[in-house]
Structure 1
């Protein structure tokens, strides 16, 4: 009888804990978008959250014209102009990694790399390295606290996020003003240039606050998910040296890598990258198995029926990218890393719609997906042609999915320089390269 009473008390306690958890979850969900809105706007701003904006002020139905602007930012012509700068940023980063005497934390350094790319290339800011490093640390603090509980108390995550946002806004405003004052010497139009020029074409003069918001959104879009995918790419090249060697063979066949191993002179072009079919397969397979985010949300515009269940108009539904990739019948041996599944001979992703959607699908597919794929392709080319690297731990780390997919310890890897000049791989070291990576 005593045990039955204890079991009853335990069951009631468990039920009460569940109710408290559910109540807290509902409260957090209700306040979550308000937190994201506050993190990108001044606290004095009372504007409502635009429908479909994901909590950011410049995307949504109220700013529909900006969708056209963003299509220009990620157009073929814009990507062609970004490409040489992206390649230089990646080359400089890989040289820095190779110069480190100790192993690096790939995920942390990939975050630093994508942040640098967004600030230097996408936005065209000429920020001193010391200030850029400080801005990166502040930005990390901002991102880490975006989803904190909306409790504005001293030392709370919410307060730290607001403080980081204020520092970011000051730094971005300074960079924007300097950029607007110095318009000479530019050899390409960056994303911020296009944003400003396009707004004028639409009869809109963007305020400084709107420019800061747009700048922050562009950094946010280019940061976490690209860093996640970059880390996954490096991990898979470490795990599958045959894939790396096959990639090198393609580079040699396309004249991008000499038979001895050293990279050929000249910068990459979009049409050159488009001709690297196996490289495209590698990137697609990385994004299939290691999609940075789990899924997305949509609002039902018209009542419909799915597998016998009626989904009413106005409901919010969530689609899962990872579950789709794991269960799609078109993919064979879904847990195997096999880039050749995307080759012209097999084309497993062409057998049906919406089986492969690493960037979402439909009219709200990721606007920056072409920039992300371009960045990953350039990184893969530079890794294959100019780098030698090996895992610095005995085993590969466990993967976590929150907030984006990444290794729990960040992936510890040792990078090695090529030779004293950083520009040549000696022929006799090619076998060692394949064995090491």
Structure 2
């Protein structure tokens, strides 16, 4: 009896200790998030994160003129000029993937691809390949330590993040200075060009530090979420070969693919892409089922009531994108990958204003959403028209949601080169082994 009593006391003590630990953890987490929120709005803060407001940190700190600048950066005209450069970057990347004898880690390679796109296309930097590879490694170290504990000790994540940011800014400053000195041979205005010229038009000559911060923010905004969505797109095309074939049929019908299979030259323009309705449905379904970011934060500007609950002015609230997509009554069979749900016959996303919001909603919707969708559409077209790829593992990997949605093992895939009829080109040794005698 005494032994049972001691066991009960021990169990209660353990439970109490666990509750205290959880309470302390929640309190510390809340304080850290408040510190992070304050840090993003304090330009003198040394935390290893971009400054400004969460999401697109520069906005809100530099005034309405910057909103106008970003509207130019992501305008129809700007996207039209980015398109051929984006296509070239994706084509070069897919050729590199296909030339490898081994399988690739899609998520890691997608991160490199989106980083390259931001550097080469969005910012127009002519950084040598070796330097670009080193800059990517430093950037990864920076990103991995963005949400580190703000404790400045040797070998801490915080210290590594600070050092990575300093190294990044040195590399970016060098690239910016070279870009400012070399203005010849440009056939389009990239995002950094627009940022510099627009600031001059508004009488706000940007300092080098502001240019470095703006450059880092543009990379930050284009990097993780686009890599996540790109990986999800490839995984779903692998899982659903019928969707990939239907996409190829649409490309043939629109003159982007010859009937024999090889891609037509010079056919990819914004108006061409906007006419690919099934492609649009595929991208929408990827973003519905595999939204890279779980949700967003907002500050309540005016007290309001929601489902009988009063939400006071000044509160910070969070909305969940994934829960919204999972529970929205307009979507049928929410766990099924079904691009046709967005087709004209069903148009499930049209029955309500905020049932589908992969890029957020309202006045704070993602400013770069059109560039992200353009990138994904070009990637899908190139995958469908120039690539053959197979899953290199026995099963598809489990998905994790932190820090953004991605496969736990990165998704191992083998890419193959293609001949003019879209047949896989096997390495010589494999071709010999498979030949009949």
Give the TM-score normalised by the residue count of structure 2. 0.91
**Is the 2:256–2:267 Cα contact (8 Å) retained in structure 1?**
no
Q: Deviations over 1:232-280 (max 9, x none)?
A: 0000000000000000000000000011110011151100000000000
**Is the 1:241–1:435 Cα contact (8 Å) retained in structure 2?**
no
Q: Deviations over 1:64-111 (max 9, x none)?
A: 321111111101010000000000000000000000000000000000
Change (3 A) 1:100 1:206: same
Change (3 A) 1:426 1:197: same
Change (3 A) 1:421 1:236: closer
**Is the 1:36–1:56 Cα contact (8 Å) retained in structure 2?**
no
Q: Distance in 2 between matches of 1:24 and 1:321?
A: 28
Cα shift at 1:334: 0.5
**Is the 2:300–2:314 Cα contact (8 Å) retained in structure 1?**
yes
Correspondence for 1:428: 428
Q: Give the paired residue count.
A: 437
Cα shift at 1:289: 0.2
Cα shift at 1:305: 1.3
**Is the 2:50–2:213 Cα contact (8 Å) retained in structure 1?**
no
Change (3 A) 1:220 1:435: farther
Cα shift at 1:392: 0.1
| Greater CA drift, 302-311 or 62-71 | 62-71
Q: Distance in 1 between matches of 2:292 and 2:321?
A: 10
Unaligned runs of 5+ in 2: none
Change (3 A) 1:21 1:62: farther
**Is the 2:48–2:162 Cα contact (8 Å) retained in structure 1?**
no
**Is the 1:28–1:149 Cα contact (8 Å) retained in structure 2?**
no
Cα shift at 1:287: 0.2
**Is the 1:262–1:425 Cα contact (8 Å) retained in structure 2?**
no
Change (3 A) 1:353 1:427: farther
Q: Distance in 2 between matches of 1:177 and 1:234?
A: 37
**Is the 1:389–1:436 Cα contact (8 Å) retained in structure 2?**
no
Change (3 A) 1:141 1:10: farther
Q: Distance in 1 between matches of 2:107 and 2:50?
A: 33
Cα shift at 1:2: 4.0
Paired residue secondary structure (1:414):
strand
Cα shift at 1:21: 3.9
Paired residue secondary structure (2:298):
strand
Cα shift at 1:63: 3.1
1:46-125 equivalence runs, <5 A: 53-54=53-54, 58-125=58-125
Q: Distance in 1 between matches of 2:192 and 2:117?
A: 14
**Is the 1:71–1:367 Cα contact (8 Å) retained in structure 2?**
yes
| Greater CA drift, 36-45 or 56-65 | 36-45
1:326-365 equivalence runs, <5 A: 326-365=326-365
Change (3 A) 1:413 1:327: same
**Is the 2:247–2:384 Cα contact (8 Å) retained in structure 1?**
yes
**Is the 2:111–2:227 Cα contact (8 Å) retained in structure 1?**
yes
**Is the 2:55–2:221 Cα contact (8 Å) retained in structure 1?**
no
Change (3 A) 1:337 1:21: same
RMSD: 4.2
**Is the 2:82–2:121 Cα contact (8 Å) retained in structure 1?**
yes
Unaligned runs of 5+ in 1: none
Give the TM-score normalised by the residue count of structure 1. 0.91
Cα shift at 1:304: 1.3
**Is the 1:262–1:386 Cα contact (8 Å) retained in structure 2?**
yes
